[in-house]
Amino acid sequence: MWKEPFFCPKKTLNCKGKIINLSSPLVMGVMNITPDSFYDGGRLTHSWDAIKLAEQLLRDGAQLLDMGAASSRPGAGFIDPKEEQQRLLPALKAVVRHFPEAIISVDTYHSTTARMAVDAGASMINDVSAGRFDPKMFPAIAELGVPYVIMHMQGQPDNMQKAPAYRHLVREVAGFFSEKTEKLRELGVHDIIIDPGFGFGKTLEQNYQLLANLEYFSVFDLPLMVGVSRKSMINKVLSTSPEQALNGTTVLNTLALSKGADILRVHDAREAMEAIKIINFYNSHK
Q: How many other C-beta atoms are found inside a 10 Å radius of the C-beta of residue 108?
A: 30
What integer pLDDT is reported at residue 76 of this predicted model?
63
Amino acid identity, position 95? V
Residues 31-72: tens digit of each pLDDT: 999 775 554 555 667 889 899 999 999 999 999 999 999 877
What integer pLDDT is reported at residue 155 of this predicted model?
81
The one catalytic residue among 231, 259, 270, 286: 231
CB 50 within 8 A of CB 104: no
The CATH architecture assigned to 25-283 reads Alpha-Beta Barrel (3.20)
The neighbouring-strand residues paired with 165 are none
Q: How many other C-beta atoms are found inside a 10 Å radius of the C-beta of residue 237?
A: 15
What integer pLDDT is reported at residue 162 of this predicted model?
77
DSSP alpha helix (H) spans, the chain: 47-59, 81-98, 111-119, 137-144, 169-186, 204-212, 232-238, 246-258, 269-283
CB 131 within 8 A of CB 137: yes
Distance of alpha carbon 113 from alpha carbon 69, whole angstroms: 10
CB 101 within 8 A of CB 123: no
Task: Using alpha carbons, list the distances in angstroms from residue 7 to 4, 11, 19, 181.
Answer: 6, 12, 20, 16
The string of DSSP codes covering 202-229 is --HHHHHHHHHTGGGGGGG-S-BEE--T
The one catalytic residue among 73, 115, 202, 265: 265
Strands 263-266, 225-226: pairing kind: parallel
Q: Is 231 designated active site?
A: yes
Q: Is 134 left (phi over 0), alpha (psi -120 to 50) or beta?
A: beta
Distance of alpha carbon 141 from alpha carbon 118, whole angstroms: 10
Distance of alpha carbon 106 from alpha carbon 125, whole angstroms: 5
Distance of alpha carbon 194 from alpha carbon 228, whole angstroms: 14
Strands 12-15, 18-21: pairing kind: antiparallel
What integer pLDDT is reported at residue 161 of this predicted model?
74
Q: Is 286 designated active site?
A: no
286 residues of the chain, pLDDT tens digit each: 334 433 445 689 999 999 999 999 999 999 999 775 554 555 667 889 899 999 999 999 999 999 999 877 676 678 899 999 999 999 999 999 999 999 999 999 999 999 999 999 999 999 999 999 999 999 999 999 999 999 999 987 766 677 788 999 999 999 999 999 999 999 999 999 999 999 999 999 999 999 999 999 999 999 999 999 999 999 999 999 999 999 999 999 999 999 999 999 999 999 999 999 999 999 999 8
Closest CA to 15 of 131, 107, 125, 139: 125
The neighbouring-strand residues paired with 13 are 20
Task: Count Cα atoms within 13 angstroms, Cβ side, for 80.
Answer: 3
